[in-house]
Amino acid sequence: MFLFESLTWYQVAMWFVVLGVLIGLNELVRWSKVAAYAVFIVLPIILTIFVWPHTAGAGSSTGTWFHWVKVYSALAGCVGFMVLRYNPRIAANKYALWFPPAILGINIFEAVIRDFEVAGISEGIVDGVYMIGGPWNIMNGVAGIINLITICGWVGIFISRDKFQDMLWPDMLWFWIIAYDIWNFAYVYNCVGDHAFYAGAALLIACTIPAFFIRRGAWLQHRAHTLAFWMMFTMAVPSFVSDSKFAVDSSHSTTALFTVSLLSLLVNIAVLVYQVRTVIVKKRHPLKDELYPELPAFQAVAKLRDDASVQPATPAAAS
C-alpha cells in the first residue's frame, strides 16, 4: 500500500475496534461525571506512579519527551474543559474562554516543534521509532503554524445545559477540522509513522465522527477526550503499536511522506486564505468576533445559545 505495509484482516478489524472503543469512551465521559473524574484524574495519577515509569521509559516507542508532554497536556485539556462544563460561573468569565484555544494551540505547537526537530534526524531508529527526516517535516511544520493561527471565534464558546453539559464552539467549523485532521495525520505519519495507522487515522476519525454526527460544535472536547484515552493506553502498552500482531508499519516511502505533508500545507493555506478574506470582506476582528455567523453549520450550533436549555458562556449573553 502507498501509506502502510500490506494489511491483514485482523489489523483492519482491530482498527475498527480502536475506533469504536474511543468513540464509546468519549460517550461514557460525556454521560457520567463520575466516569470523567475517574478517567481523567484518578487513573492518570495511578498510571504516573505505578505504570508509565516502567512502560514509557528510555528506549520505548512512547518514552520521548513529546509523549510525556502530550499525555499531560491532553489531560490538562480534559480537566480544564470539565471545570468550564461543570461550573457555570467560571464558564461565564470571559477570561476562562481563553483556555480552550490556549490548550489547543499549545498541543499544535508541541507537534510543530517535533516536526521541525525530526527534520534534522537521519534515517533510522530513533527512540524506538523508525524515522526519515526531510523537507516534508518543514512543510508540515508550517502547515501546523497556519492551523494554529486560524483558530478563531472562541468568544462564542458556551456550555449546554442538557445532561451532557458539552462545551460547544460554533466557529470551529468543518473546514478547519478537516485541515487539522490532515495536518495532524501528516505529523504522526512524519514523526511516528509506525503508529500512524491507529494514532493518526483511527484517533482522528474517532473525534471527527462525533463532531459531525453525534454532538456538533463539541469537536475540541471530543478531541481532548480521545487523545487522552489513546495516549494513556499507548504509554501503558507501547507494544500494541510497536511489535504486537496488530502493529502496522508505515511504508517509509519518501513519496508518501512528501505527499501527505504537501496536502496538509495546501489545505491549511486554503483555510487561511478563506479566513483572511472573511476578515477583510466582513470586517470582523479575528480575536474579538465570531467569523462565520452566516454559515448554516455555524447557525446549527449557535442557535442553542438562545435556547432555554443552554447556559451561554459569553459575558454578553450571560448579562
Instruction: Read off the C-alpha cell for 292.
Output: 462565520
Instruction: Read off the C-alpha cell for 258.
Output: 512528501
Q: Which of 202, 200, 227, 225 is nearest to 215 (CA)?
A: 225
Region of 217 please: left (phi>0), alpha (psi -120 to 50) or beta.
left
Residue 286: how many CB atoms within 10 A of its CB? 16
Report the DSSP pairing between strands 310-311 and 158-160. Answer: antiparallel
Q: Letter for the amino acid at 52?
A: W
φ, ψ of residue 160 in degrees (nearest 5): -70, 150
Residue 252, CA distances (Å) to 40, 90, 208, 298 in order: 35, 47, 26, 39
Q: Where are the domains of the chain?
A: 10-318
The three-point CA angle 114-233-192 to 5° equals 30
Q: Is 167 within 8 Å of 220 (Cβ atoms)?
A: yes
Residue 7: how many CB atoms within 10 A of its CB? 13
CB crowding 37-58: b at 16 or more within 10 Å, else e: eebbeebbeebbeeebeebbee
Q: Which residues are within 8 A (CB) of 75 and not within 5 positions of it... i.e. 6 or more apart?
A: 40, 44, 228, 232
User: How much is the pLDDT for 309?
Assistant: 43
Give the whole-number percent of the chain exceeding pLDDT 90: 82
Residue 240: how many CB atoms within 10 A of its CB? 19
pLDDT in tens, 175-200: 999 999 999 999 999 999 999 999 99
pTM here?
0.93
Position 129 pLDDT exceeds 60: yes
Banded pLDDT at 318 (limits 50, 70, 90): very low
User: How much is the pLDDT for 1?
Assistant: 55
Position 312 pLDDT exceeds 50: no
- Over its C-alpha atoms, the chain yields an Rg (Å, rounded) of 19
- What integer best gives the mean pLDDT of the chain? 92
User: How much is the pLDDT for 198?
Assistant: 97
Q: Mean of the pLDDT values across residues 126-154?
A: 94
Report the DSSP pairing between strands 158-160 and 124-126. Answer: unpaired
